[in-house]
Amino acid sequence: MVQGKVRAILHVDMDAFFVSVELLTRPELVGKQIIVGHVGERSVVLSASYECRALGVKSAMPMSIATRMAPKAIVIEPTQGLYRTYSARIMEIFREVTPLVEQLSVDEAFLDVTGSMRRLGPPPVIGTMIRKRLRDELGLPASVGIASSKFVAKVASTGAKPDGMLVIQPERTLEYLHTLPVGALWGVGAKTAEVLREMGIGTVAQLAATPENTLSRRLGTTGNHLYALAWGRDDRAVETEREEKSIGAEATFAVDLWDEEALRREILHLGHRVAARLRQANKVAGVVALKLRYSDFSTLSRSRTLPVPSNAAGELVGAVEGLLEKLGARPQAVRLVGIRAEKLTEAGGGMQLSFDPRDDNWRQAEATMDLISSRFPAGALRPASLLERGQKDK
């Protein structure tokens, strides 16, 4: 509730955003099967037209699988700069409607329009106006979900796709939620869904009818979370500034990799990328995680808490190399490797100085690298051991 009013939350989600942007300059391809992504068996689908989605193609699907499912699809190389430009214009339109905009990604956001209704009209009118502006000014379709909470608005926008709008009135929230499969709830992944199936729970209504303590015994705090959502309880406010909770980087190899030296070189490269992004955000990481994906697409993650939060590449890489050594011999060749910095805090007050002068030398060197890179981004300044690299960054 806001000043005695029921909140009005919109979730606006652009439809097949990358594809829609590409079609603005290729109108002859409208209605055809389109996939946006890099050509190659090691690449993944970034976006797919609804003509491809009808055949089972999804985002993040390996390109090799997607092209088998949709052999007639036209593959378009992504134009990242163009997507960022349109994303900025989309968010400008949202902020002209309300200052309460929580951007979730380049193509979706929550809008709290409770305070805008006196000026612009009821939520359905605002949702219709936003969709019209996006279409008229940018040529892009969008789906809108409207509800009294963020969770239900997000579910509604999914139900409105493609290019539609779905309004869930507050008094009909439970009626709507209880018609959905349990997979519609945030937090229901493959493992949780399996546990729920074992409990005989396949719908939100069945989950809502299950005692909360029964769910918490099987699923821990996730059970409490799902129970609350099943009853429409989500009081989270739209956050206009979202704090980055983690910073990471990944690389997919052109050929599955057995070579240990090449793998460690890639880890060094990723460590410097992550460290530079941490310093740019004025953050230090308390935890570092390693991600490996093998030839059969199985994925494992391991993490380690740093003795002192850091944004120095040497310390991040050292922790990841320790995780790698602890894993021992790898059962398969490596397809993808990633590093993620977690438990982020502001840099400055919490960093502990080292008694080893080499550590300060490295910090000064990395600070100098940041300065040079900011002035000469095309220079690709990097450690000497990374001058020869055959892998393709993701």
Residues labelled catalytic: 108
Angle between helices 260-280 and 357-375 (to 10 degrees): 70
Hey, what are 188's tokens? 């229901």
Hey, what are 304's tokens? 């380690």
Q: Is 13 annotated as a binding residue?
A: yes
Q: Output the CA–CA distances (angstroms, integers) from residue 302 to 84, 252, 290, 324, 341, in the order listed.
A: 32, 18, 5, 9, 12
Amino acid identity for residue 279 in this structure: R
Angle between helices 221-230 and 212-219 (to 10 degrees): 140
Say how far apart CA 331 and CA 59 lie, in whole Å. 28
Task: Give one DSSP letter per residue of 289-349, joined into a string.
Answer: EEEEEETTS-EEEEEEEEEEEE--HHHHHHHHHHHHHHH-S-SS-EEEEEEEEEEEEESSS
Say how far apart CA 307 and CA 286 lie, in whole Å. 8
Which residue from 102, 127, 106 is spatially nearest to 116, judged by alpha carbons? 127
Q: Is 370 annotated as a binding residue?
A: no
Hey, what are 86's tokens? 């349109």
Q: Output the CA–CA distances (angstroms, integers) from residue 284 to 73, 291, 307, 323, 359, in the order listed.
A: 44, 20, 12, 19, 16
Q: Residue ranges for the binding site for Mg(2+)?
A: 13, 107
Q: Residue ranges for the binding site?
A: 13, 107
